[in-house]
Amino acid sequence: MILPDTPLYNSKTDAEFRIRMIHHIRTTFKDLLSPADLKLLDLPNGLDLLQARVHQMLYDASHGAIDLRPADARKVAA
């Protein structure tokens, strides 16, 4: 995969990349996500929780036509 030559992707460590990604999500998607959703990013597994939340929002908004949730989450919902 080719990544853009921007400071976001030129991180030296995983921790630095995570911090930059969280900052990017907070600033870019602040109008789309609720304050409660953005607070998820403060948790140790916040990126995973927010990803699951966005997948659920997409599923709900499309009335089930778009389902990016993991297979085990689909079984529980069915």
Per-residue model confidence as pLDDT tens digits over 14-41:
888 888 889 989 999 999 899 999 999 9
Write down the domain spans for the chain.
Answer: 23-77
Are the CB atoms for 24 and 8 separated by under 8 Å?
A: yes
Tokens read off for 70: 């993991």
Asked whether residue 1 carries a pLDDT value surpassing 60, the answer given is: no
Backbone φ/ψ region at 67: left (φ over 0), alpha (ψ -120 to 50), beta? beta
Query: Which pLDDT value is given to residue 78?
Result: 55
Q: Kindly state the tokens that stand for 64.
A: 């089930």
44: pLDDT strictly greater than 60:
yes
Mean pLDDT on 44-69:
89
To the question of pTM greater than 0.85 for the whole model, the response is no
C-alpha–C-alpha distance, residues 26 and 75, integer Å: 31
Side chain identity, residue 19: I
